Structure 1
Amino acid sequence: MKTPTRPKGEFTGRHMLIIMLAFFGTIIAVNLTMATLANRSWTGLVVKNSYVASQQFNEKAALARAQQALGWRGELTIADGTVSYRLTDRSGDPVSAEAVRMIFRRPVSEQGDLTLRLARAGTGAFAQTIKIADGGWIVEILADIGQPDPYRQVERVRVTGGRIR
């Protein structure tokens, strides 16, 4: 008995199986790749407890408005292996701060994050000798001004060749 022959180019179940495996295989491979890259590049942690953070939002916003009303200006400088900070009032006179702490964070990871305590370097100025790695940083500056809450300034900077660009 002779087996029936299929016409050339006929679409079979085998063709459909290959198409389905290729389609879903591609989707699964892309999803796994993206999930792996996302997991390696960012911890995903913004706050430890979002409920508590939401309860503190109004208080922090009021503190920020009160701080902004002071008209103070903080100047962050990174150059020649030195991080310096100077805080001035509305008229440009130095603000007497007791201590300045800086927290350097990478925007998308926790690798290389560091905290600095700057030493007094003149009236209203603070500095610390340290090499800051090149790249993008979010710098949180906390100046102890003798109040219950520190003067807080957050800047996003790009360091290139040991300097802010």
Structure 2
Amino acid sequence: MNSQSGASGRFTGTHMLGIMLAFFGVIVAVNLTMAMLASTSWTGFVVRNSYVASQEFNRKSDEARAQAALGWTSRLSISGGEIRYKLIDAGGKAVALRGVTAHFRHPAYEAQDQTVDLSPATNGEFAAALTLREGAWIMEIEADAGIGNPHRDVRRIMVRDGTLQ
């Protein structure tokens, strides 16, 4: 007879229990970690009142069509810790602006969102100091050209090494 009970190399119920606990323990730990990171990084807030936002859609669409009919183009640069913005009319001349405000929103979290007021610089440009974290941003510029509604320039931009890509 064999005097060893539980000879080495045997797979027992205890081994199976250990494997199952380890397997599901890893799954639960990863899920809890991901849930915690998701709940602390983005609030999920998009608009305060979706009904009001839907009612404003037609008005904003009309404003966008009127703005496009002007034929204005914009020049934007972000580099060296500075943002520069300029509007050019259909004739190729700089549009005289009263003020420019840039809003930067990160698509995934609000912690580093910022608003920057640009000041007049040279040749019709407006500029301000700006440092953005690398990655994707939603940029919305409102330029007051004295025509009623501000000229809106909304873009999704990518910043790498402090420079607009």
Q: TM-score, normalised by structure 2?
A: 0.78
* Displacement of 1:35: 3.7
1:106 maps onto 2:106 in alignment: yes
Distance 2:147 2:62 in 1: 15
Distance 2:32 2:129 in 1: 43
Q: Percent identity?
A: 50
Instruction: Name the counterpart of 2:15.
Output: none
User: Kindly tell me: are residues 135 and 26 of structure 1, through their superposed partners in 2, closer, same or farther at Cα, counting changes over 3 Å?
Assistant: closer
1:95 maps onto 2:87 in alignment: no
* Displacement of 1:116: 0.6
Instruction: Name the counterpart of 1:82.
Output: 82
Amino acid paired to 2:140: E
* Displacement of 1:106: 0.6
Instruction: Name the counterpart of 2:148.
Output: 148
* Displacement of 1:29: 6.7
Amino acid paired to 1:85: Y
1:88-136: CA deviations, max 9, x gaps?
0122211111100001111111011111111101242100123232222
The count of residues paired between Structure 1 and Structure 2 equals 148
* Displacement of 1:48: 0.4
Distance 1:38 1:54 in 2: 27
1:73 maps onto 2:73 in alignment: yes
User: Kindly tell me: are residues 27 and 161 of structure 1, through their superposed partners in 2, closer, same or farther at Cα, counting changes over 3 Å?
Assistant: closer
Q: Is the 8 A contact 1:85 1:126 kept in 2?
A: yes
Moved more, 116-125 or 56-65: 116-125
> CA RMSD, aligned part only?
2.4
Distance 2:27 2:162 in 1: 43
Amino acid paired to 1:136: A
Instruction: Name the counterpart of 1:136.
Output: 136
Query: What secondary structure, in the 3-state scheme, does the structure 2 residue paired with 1:124 have?
Result: coil
Unaligned runs of 5+ in 2: 1-19
Amino acid paired to 1:156: R
Distance 1:148 1:90 in 2: 19
Distance 2:152 2:52 in 1: 20
Distance 1:28 1:133 in 2: 32
Unaligned runs of 5+ in 1: 1-18
Instruction: Name the counterpart of 1:43.
Output: 43
